[in-house]
Amino acid sequence: MVLTTDTEREPTAWRTIDTAPLSDDTLAQVDGWWRAANYLSVGQIYLLSNPLLRTPLSRDDVKPRLLGHWGTTPGLNFIYAHLNRAIREREQPTMYVTGPGHGGPGLVANAYLDGTYSEVYSDVTADEEGMRRLFRQFSFPGGIPSHVAPETPGSIHEGGELGYALSHAYGAAFDNPDLLVAAVVGDGEAETGPLATSWHSNKFTHRVNDGVVLPILHLNGYKIANPTVLARIPEDDLRSLMIGYGYEPHFFTATEEAEHATAHREFAQLLDTVLDQIAEIKAWPEDDDRTPRWPMIVFRTPKGWTGPAYIDGKKSTGSWRAHQVPLSSARDTPEHLQVLNDWLGSYRADELFDADGKLDPMIAELAPPGGLRMSAISHANGGLLLRDLRLPDFRDYAVEVPAPGATIAESTRILGNWLTEVIRLNPDNFRIFGPDETASNRLQSVYEATDKQWNAEYESPEVDEHLARAGRVMEMLSEHQCQGWLEGYLLTGRHGLFNCYEAFIHIVDSMMNQHAKWLKVTNEIPWRRPIASLNYLLSSHVWRQDHNGFSHQDPGFIDHVINKKAEVVRVYLPPDANTLLSTYDHCLRSRQYVNVVVAGKQPSPNFLTMDEAVAHCTRGLGIWEWAGTEEAGENPDVVVATCGDIPTLEGLAAVDILRKQLPELKIRFVNVVDLMRLQDEKEHPHGLTNREFDMIFTRDRPVIFAYHGYPWLIHRLTYRRAVNENIHVRGYKEEGTTTTPFDMVMLNDLDRYHLVMDVIDRVPSLGSRYATLRQQMVDKRLAARQYTRAHGEDIPEVRDWAWPSSHDQSFAADAASTGGDNE
Amino acid sequence: MVLTTDTEREPTAWRTIDTAPLSDDTLAQVDGWWRAANYLSVGQIYLLSNPLLRTPLSRDDVKPRLLGHWGTTPGLNFIYAHLNRAIREREQPTMYVTGPGHGGPGLVANAYLDGTYSEVYSDVTADEEGMRRLFRQFSFPGGIPSHVAPETPGSIHEGGELGYALSHAYGAAFDNPDLLVAAVVGDGEAETGPLATSWHSNKFTHRVNDGVVLPILHLNGYKIANPTVLARIPEDDLRSLMIGYGYEPHFFTATEEAEHATAHREFAQLLDTVLDQIAEIKAWPEDDDRTPRWPMIVFRTPKGWTGPAYIDGKKSTGSWRAHQVPLSSARDTPEHLQVLNDWLGSYRADELFDADGKLDPMIAELAPPGGLRMSAISHANGGLLLRDLRLPDFRDYAVEVPAPGATIAESTRILGNWLTEVIRLNPDNFRIFGPDETASNRLQSVYEATDKQWNAEYESPEVDEHLARAGRVMEMLSEHQCQGWLEGYLLTGRHGLFNCYEAFIHIVDSMMNQHAKWLKVTNEIPWRRPIASLNYLLSSHVWRQDHNGFSHQDPGFIDHVINKKAEVVRVYLPPDANTLLSTYDHCLRSRQYVNVVVAGKQPSPNFLTMDEAVAHCTRGLGIWEWAGTEEAGENPDVVVATCGDIPTLEGLAAVDILRKQLPELKIRFVNVVDLMRLQDEKEHPHGLTNREFDMIFTRDRPVIFAYHGYPWLIHRLTYRRAVNENIHVRGYKEEGTTTTPFDMVMLNDLDRYHLVMDVIDRVPSLGSRYATLRQQMVDKRLAARQYTRAHGEDIPEVRDWAWPSSHDQSFAADAASTGGDNE
């Protein structure tokens, strides 16, 4: 089993070699490999049986439904064959990232040829029967997906959704100084936004500490039904574009008419040139500060290269018609069957495989040894390389909380103090990613331990604060890049977090989808080892967009995330600094999750001591006895529940009013950190049982729930609970711009006064006796609004509100008399 | 009132002029305008009162909370002033799109200077009191947003979320042959993916039929806390990049030290050169087929230009520290107040405004006349220009439906036939956008009427099918581009649709957010006229991803959309071809909505005649009497409800089984087209009243609901209905890959056999007597699964299933006897 770590091996990276022209033997080897991979690719798309064509191809040998993609595949196979040769000669650890991941048959074929496939899937053997299984399983019910999926050895990148090949490749290269990542970019993919900006990743890569990405722009000219842009601009423009992106482009062109031998010779030479050039840059003295111009390859080939030139009189190879399954049925007519037969025959499989279906040993020798095979390299099964983070004790970073609300902190700044030490203790496997917002999100103390990695030009120290050639913070104004880099970094066995404005994390909704799907599938693949979780820190959240307003308000990422499989998603809304510390410690220790943490960056009160915070976070939700007024052994009159920092503040302020105005009202105060606790245990692994839930929220009391996001989510999560119909949720209502914090909560009816009104409206025992109090609340809102309009800031009564210490004393007295414990 | 259409005006576009150097008078005008705009911008950010500094600046004149963004603003003002001059001289209709839309104070200032602001907001007058209001309202409670928002005259682009300036600009230019769109791209924004690919829009623009976008890359060097990438690469690389993108770059640089007069002279000359160059290209003969190389400008200035060079000893102007509010408090110390005083004083406002606060007429003259003012141009209030589409009668495109399920069609292909005529009838104000999927989504008959617009290189007609220099279909493999172009097109008063794979529409989640927010806000702005709806056609949906599998499965865009304001979102899932036609006709007539239409492209049965379809779509949901077995005047035993084409097929197949196996069971069959009908009337304008809802779904019968997307959504929408707890939903469960249609529905328990089991499990009267039937269903599922695994296609019993005509006869007989009507 090769899929083990390989740490003892001496680094062999970045050799230059004597670049002699390809010998005839090696040419035969490379061409044989390519033909074999192409044959196996076509076989996977078309054949059910008769894999070696031992008998004349018959209709029944052909799959009834033809699924998959041929167009990109022969190009991917060609590059794979040539990289094999180069890796063997240079002993260069190399990953292969295929942007056009729909070329799945190609990658599966290569993994089969180099032996990895049979090692991880023991019934797909290196013989005729194994080949039959290989063909049959492809895109077949109960078989394997048609893309380069988690099931494909050697892959960290499905490429179903296009645009992230280079981001993933660079993410993989960070902190892997000996690793070459050959990244094929499809020319369709190259039209996407994320890919178009990801070329600039070279400005964020360190020459010494990081590996090297070799982008290979595969211009096969066509998408599903159109030419591609980059294949249809003048070659001079394309060269300029790549130079503009900071690369040195090398052009390779193969036409349909070109001799394959010539193509092999030319590409081998170009590849050697390029790899030598990389090795030379890598060999510069360590302190050489020049900005390297890394090479890239423009690889122009016919689409569907080696396939039938024409099918039914229409141009196939070299056109968009070769994109998926060029010959859309081989069972309908003898002529079509013959086309397939000739096509398969063109690869001369009898020269490649022996009578048992075993690959010619001469060709097989092209594969690099063991863990150097691109399908077997351990980086592509990152969990194999994953080391636990060394985490400082987060308790040492606690804020002092002598009494609830007695101190103030910016939660994310406190987290930043702890992260600073995380960075110090883990200098080569932990990074922070963010779109120019790490300081804005108040994590800036990390710059005491590290810098932002920046390999573009410098100006003066006056303005270039915390920039350095190497650093643990990665900032580019592209959420796509941050997410893609982090994914690549995690998938290759490292740790990290992505801090982002809450509203704009929607920019990567679809990327999160794909990563969550990848995690879900890998959970079911025994040979895939668990990787570190993808941790989000969403600060600068919906409730505090004073500078920016409505366009920056959207708490819906949470809703988006929980549509993914329950076993891979977690959502936390710590209400203060100590709970944030405890939550993030948990997240950085976890595996195989998408953890969403929403936490404010503005000064706000601390409610829990560190011991209380740990207990609260461990429970995920709980009763804050010090805030409520219930008596032991009796049901409360009302439950005030909160989730999120601003809602918690407003909820407590509402309770403060209620305690003063309605001292007889028995209030239970509940706070939720782990949103998934609300769900039924059958829906989510974190879900409470009904009995546990009912104990906390009651079965029948009114529950006034102040929530950070869209209110419906709380109803969804509590849908199956007894108290469900009594839950009244206040949250974000998508209501326009405001510019003071309290105006914002008022606009969405989440403010303390409205919550008091909700309690009056919903506790049956209160009724119209409290009409005066209710009206006072309406007046308070009006006064608060008028004040902000007159003064441009919140009314002092609100701005300066703090949880009164008198409540603690009164409750402490009660608690003492009932044996409660309020430490 | 200038905000009217201006169609009588003779086109004056694309003049060249004698480009003499700027005269001293004009220089004074331009510089005066710039100083005035800068002064008004600083005033908006800082001042509550004393707008003309008639008395010494005091602490109380300064806003207590300083919000907004200064850094980009002086650059935006500079360009605006110079464009004013050019527009006046050339009478060139020009829109101004500002990517860094957070430079709101600048655009508001310019609209105030040219008079537009006072025209639309009559209390913000052109005098001292108006100026005081202008300052005070900015980013102030009850005032205006800090960004270039819908409230800002002349804007179609908020720029809160960065990345779409060029896409919007090109969208605005399509089919506006006389329009110049000056589009400022921030260098922060330039790092985003969508922006990085949007430069390629030039390959999709027609020289004659479309307007011209002049990109102005504003390199002010810094983002929130970092330098920008494009400001920190060698100038040669930047030049190469722009040439690579297909532009001719022109460089302008102003340093902090440069004389403003010199900067004005240089930029004026450059602008004239560039505009002449554009005019010359526009003047080529109409049939000249050369690919134009349009100019663009690299505009390098200090960030926060003209602001304080240093604040508290730290570099401010020319650094990231100038991004937001450089002087973060002017009230705390006399020194800070003095900094603000000096800063404001540097603009010499007393030379610009008279004692009443009126702009010096010499400077005011710089503004172009009336509708040529960039803040007043009617294209930026596109509803003014909106013409109704000429729509062919969709009934003429109906498929024949002699009996339910008796004919088969690909719904989107039928829609394509109608769209073909829509294109013919509306040759200059309707376009179809799609990421290389228009044919894949089966709309290809539109190519009988038009082509795909393509202005990159051509190869041979053999492969370049349906490509032309001008055409109504816009295809680029970037969902961001499709969405951005369409938004720009709609916001300037035209119509269109975006067809996309369902899973990948999540790529534009965040763009949809911003557009929905824009619509929501414009609904509340009287002078903004309604624009055509943003219409999605999501085909290639979650249930039919045979070629691609799990990565292409996600129905969650619907969930995302309905978190937006109810008054702007609509979701339709027509079950067959005729309902799709009726739905889309409705969508293309609507205004101010986001319409999401999900419809399959695979052959599937037609259920409703056109008359029935129109009635069904008008109701939005309804009982299909022909499918059910209930008796008039009696409650059914069970309601089988469906929404979406595949769920409807499975639901009907389940009813078929039930009718045969349990003839005594009284079934009501309900189909939902308009998903929002399910919601409470108080939640959504389309919502049914409880009485209407209960009539259809009953108050107490089991409802088995087969739904296209994530099941929770149905619970959410029906949360307040009496029958809510009896609704049992089957939908997508995020469950892995399969490769046959029925395997896919089985994997998610949405198949006919499972629905029958659900009915047995939930109708109390059935119970264990039907254990045998239930077990048969389990066996049927197993047999179906085994068949697909053996044969690679669906079991014939399922594949060939059709709604039996015998049911129709039996029901027709019933209906006749009860007075029903089944036409």
Could you tell me the fold of the domain covering A394-603? Rossmann fold (3.40.50)
Whether residue B373 is predicted with pLDDT greater than 50 in this model: the reply is yes
Query: Is there a contact between A494 and A430 (Cβ–Cβ < 8 Å)?
Result: yes
Q: Supply A489's token pair.
A: 């970094």
Taking an 8 Å cut-off on Cβ atoms, the answer to whether B517 and A193 are in contact is no
| Of residues A18 and B21, more confidently modeled | B21
Taking an 8 Å cut-off on Cβ atoms, the answer to whether A65 and B239 are in contact is no
Distance from CA of B209 to the nearest CA of A (A): 21
The ranges of chain A annotated as CATH 3.40.50.920 are 623-806
Please state, in angstroms and rounded to a whole number, the distance separating the CA atoms of residues B533 and B491.
10
Q: Please give the full DSSP string across A458-492, using - where no structure is assigned.
A: ---TTT-TTEESS-SEEE-S-HHHHHHHHHHHHHT
Q: Which residues of B touch A739 (CB under 8 A)?
A: 65, 67, 139-141, 143, 146
Taking an 8 Å cut-off on Cβ atoms, the answer to whether B227 and A195 are in contact is no
Of the partner residues A160, A238, A510, the one whose CB lies closest to the CB of residue B506: A510
The residue-averaged pLDDT of B706-715 equals 96
Taking an 8 Å cut-off on Cβ atoms, the answer to whether B513 and A520 are in contact is no
Cβ burial, residue A342 (10 Å; 0-12/13-18/19+): exposed
Residues 6+ away with beta carbon under 8 Å from A769: none
SS (H, E, C) B637-680: CEEEEEECHHHHHHHHHHHHHHHHHCCCCCEEEEEECEHHHHCE
The CATH label, of 3.30.465.10, 3.40.50.920, 3.40.640.10, 3.40.309.10, for the domain at A623-806 is 3.40.50.920
Q: What percent of chain B has pLDDT over 70?
A: 97
User: Which residue is listed with tokens 């239930």?
Assistant: B774
Cβ burial, residue B764 (10 Å; 0-12/13-18/19+): exposed
Residue A467: closest C-alpha in chain B:
B226
Q: Which residues on neighbouring strands pair with residue A675, listed in sequence order? A: none
Q: Which residues of B touch A63 (CB under 8 A)?
A: 792
Most B CBs within 10 Å, among A167, A245, A737, A795, to test the B interface: A737
Q: Which residues on neighbouring strands pair with residue A539, listed in sequence order? A: A501
Q: Which residues of A touch B563 (CB under 8 A)?
A: 556, 559, 710, 712, 734
Whether residue B6 is predicted with pLDDT greater than 70 in this model: the reply is no
Please state, in angstroms and rounded to a whole number, the distance separating the CA atoms of residues B423 and B495.
11
Phi then psi for residue B788, to 5 deg, are -65, -40
Q: In 3-state terms, what secondary structure has residue A315?
A: strand
Residues 6+ away with beta carbon under 8 Å from B642: B575, B648, B650, B651, B652, B669, B670, B671, B672, B705, B706, B707
Of the partner residues B203, B224, B318, the one whose CB lies closest to the CB of residue A436: B224
Q: Which residues of A touch B229 (CB under 8 A)?
A: 200, 203, 456, 476
Q: What is the predicted pLDDT for the residue at A810?
A: 59
Q: What is the predicted pLDDT for the residue at A821?
A: 37
Q: At the top level of CATH, which class does the domain B26-380 belong to?
A: alpha beta
Cβ burial, residue B115 (10 Å; 0-12/13-18/19+): middle
Taking an 8 Å cut-off on Cβ atoms, the answer to whether A710 and B510 are in contact is no
Residue A147: closest C-alpha in chain B:
B548
Residues 6+ away with beta carbon under 8 Å from B772: none
Cβ burial, residue B666 (10 Å; 0-12/13-18/19+): middle
Candidate from A17-26, B299-308, B632-641 with smallest mean pLDDT? A17-26
Q: CA nearest A220: which of A327, A358, A318?
A: A318
Q: Which residues of B touch A69 (CB under 8 A)?
A: 547
User: Which residue is listed with tokens 């002529």?
Assistant: A335
Q: Tell me which DSSP letter residue A123 carries.
A: T
Please state, in angstroms and rounded to a whole number, the distance separating the CA atoms of residues B287 and B5.
31
Of the partner residues A158, A243, A509, the one whose CB lies closest to the CB of residue B551: A158
Q: Tell me which DSSP letter residue B234 carries.
A: -
Q: CA nearest B214: which of B157, B165, B147?
A: B165
Q: C-alpha angle A763/A765/A769, rounded to 5°?
A: 105
Of the partner residues B456, B459, B547, the one whose CB lies closest to the CB of residue A229: B456
Please state, in angstroms and rounded to a whole number, the distance separating the CA atoms of residues A229 and B340.
50
Residues 6+ away with beta carbon under 8 Å from A247: A199, A202, A215, A293, A294, A295, A296
Neighbours of A192 (CB within 10 A): 31
- The strand pair at A295-300 and A212-219 is best described as parallel
Taking an 8 Å cut-off on Cβ atoms, the answer to whether A69 and B238 are in contact is no
Taking an 8 Å cut-off on Cβ atoms, the answer to whether B477 and A223 are in contact is yes
Q: What is the predicted pLDDT for the residue at A805?
A: 85
Distance from CA of B126 to the nearest CA of A (A): 23
Query: Is there a contact between B193 and B480 (Cβ–Cβ < 8 Å)?
Result: yes
Taking an 8 Å cut-off on Cβ atoms, the answer to whether B232 and A476 are in contact is no
Distance from CA of B294 to the nearest CA of A (A): 14
Please state, in angstroms and rounded to a whole number, the distance separating the CA atoms of residues A463 and A736.
36
Q: Which residues of A touch B227 (CB under 8 A)?
A: 454, 456, 459, 463-464, 467
Residues 6+ away with beta carbon under 8 Å from B786: none
Taking an 8 Å cut-off on Cβ atoms, the answer to whether B463 and A222 are in contact is yes
Q: Which residues of A touch B65 (CB under 8 A)?
A: 546, 739-740, 792-793
Please state, in angstroms and rounded to a whole number, the distance separating the CA atoms of residues B743 and B752.
12
Distance from CA of B23 to the nearest CA of A (A): 36
Q: What is the predicted pLDDT for the residue at A14?
A: 93
Residue spans of beta strands (DSSP E) within B290-334: 295-300, 310-311, 314-315
The residue-averaged pLDDT of B33-45 equals 98
Q: What is the predicted pLDDT for the residue at A737?
A: 76
Q: Which residues of A touch B443 (CB under 8 A)?
A: none
Q: Which residues on neighbouring strands pair with residue B218, listed in sequence order? A: B186, B299
Q: Which residues of B touch A556 (CB under 8 A)?
A: 513, 560, 563
Phi then psi for residue B287, to 5 deg, are -90, 5
Residue A548: closest C-alpha in chain B:
B146
ipTM of this predicted structure: 0.96
Distance from CA of A552 to the nearest CA of B (A): 7
- Give pTM, 2 decimals: 0.96
Q: Which residues on neighbouring strands pair with residue B596, listed in sequence order? A: B536, B571
Taking an 8 Å cut-off on Cβ atoms, the answer to whether A739 and B65 are in contact is yes
Distance from CA of A71 to the nearest CA of B (A): 14
Taking an 8 Å cut-off on Cβ atoms, the answer to whether B200 and A229 are in contact is yes
Q: Which residues of B touch A740 (CB under 8 A)?
A: 65, 141
Instruction: Tell me the CA distances in angstroms from A449 to A203, A440, A475, B466, one per residue in order.
Output: 21, 18, 16, 58
Query: Is there a contact between A67 and A135 (Cβ–Cβ < 8 Å)?
Result: no
Q: In 3-state terms, what secondary structure has residue A570?
A: strand
Q: What is the predicted pLDDT for the residue at B119?
A: 97
Q: Which helix (H) or strand (E) holds B267?
A: helix B260-282
Most B CBs within 10 Å, among A139, A476, A510, A724, to test the B interface: A510
- The strand pair at B94-98 and A703-707 is best described as unpaired
Q: What is the predicted pLDDT for the residue at A665?
A: 95
Q: CA nearest B149: which of B140, B160, B141?
A: B160
SS (H, E, C) B560-628: HHCCCCHHHEEEECCCCHHHHHHHHHHHHHCECCEEEEECCCCEEEECCCHHHHHHHHHHCEEECCCCC
- The strand pair at A603-606 and A407-410 is best described as antiparallel
Please state, in angstroms and rounded to a whole number, the distance separating the CA atoms of residues A673 and A597.
10
Residue B522: closest C-alpha in chain A:
A736
Of the partner residues B191, B477, B715, the one whose CB lies closest to the CB of residue A192: B477
Residue A204: closest C-alpha in chain B:
B229
Q: Supply B416's token pair.
A: 């394509």
Of the partner residues B241, B475, B504, the one whose CB lies closest to the CB of residue A161: B504
Please state, in angstroms and rounded to a whole number, the distance separating the CA atoms of residues A278 and A16.
9
Q: What is the predicted pLDDT for the residue at B11?
A: 55
Q: CA nearest A725: which of A736, A714, A733, A735?
A: A714
The ranges of chain A annotated as CATH 3.40.50.970 are 26-380, 394-603
Q: Which residues of B touch A458 (CB under 8 A)?
A: 232
Q: What is the predicted pLDDT for the residue at B633?
A: 83
Q: What is the predicted pLDDT for the residue at A816?
A: 45
Burial B599-611 (b: 16+ CB within 10 A, else e): bbbbebbbbbbbe
Distance from CA of B268 to the nearest CA of A (A): 27
Q: Which residues of B touch A716 (CB under 8 A)?
A: 712, 715-716
Taking an 8 Å cut-off on Cβ atoms, the answer to whether B226 and A65 are in contact is no
If pLDDT is split at 50, 70 and 90, which confidence band does B812 have? Answer: very low
Please state, in angstroms and rounded to a whole number, the distance separating the CA atoms of residues A84 and A453.
32
Residue spans of beta strands (DSSP E) within A281-414: 295-300, 310-311, 314-315, 407-410
Of the partner residues A480, A546, A551, the one whose CB lies closest to the CB of residue B158: A551
Whether residue B8 is predicted with pLDDT greater than 50 in this model: the reply is no
Please state, in angstroms and rounded to a whole number, the distance separating the CA atoms of residues A505 and A437.
12
Distance from CA of A123 to the nearest CA of B (A): 17
Distance from CA of B708 to the nearest CA of A (A): 14
Task: With a cut of 70, list the residues of chain A below it in pLDDT.
Answer: 1-11, 808-823
Neighbours of B128 (CB within 10 A): 18
Please state, in angstroms and rounded to a whole number, the distance separating the CA atoms of residues A556 and A458.
38
Please state, in angstroms and rounded to a whole number, the distance separating the CA atoms of residues A498 and B675.
35
Q: C-alpha angle B160/B164/B170, rounded to 5°?
A: 140
Q: Which residues of B touch A219 (CB under 8 A)?
A: none
Of the partner residues A243, A506, A514, the one whose CB lies closest to the CB of residue B237: A243
Residue B244: closest C-alpha in chain A:
A241
Of the partner residues A197, A229, A549, the one whose CB lies closest to the CB of residue B196: A197
The mean predicted confidence, pLDDT, of chain B is: 94
Q: Which helix (H) or strand (E) holds B536?
A: strand B534-539
Query: Is there a contact between A793 and A799 (Cβ–Cβ < 8 Å)?
Result: yes
CA atoms within 13 A on the CB side of A412: 25
Q: Please give the full DSSP string across A707-762, using - where no structure is assigned.
A: ESS-THHHHHHTTTSTTGGGEEEE--------SSHHHHHHHTT-SHHHHHHHHHHH
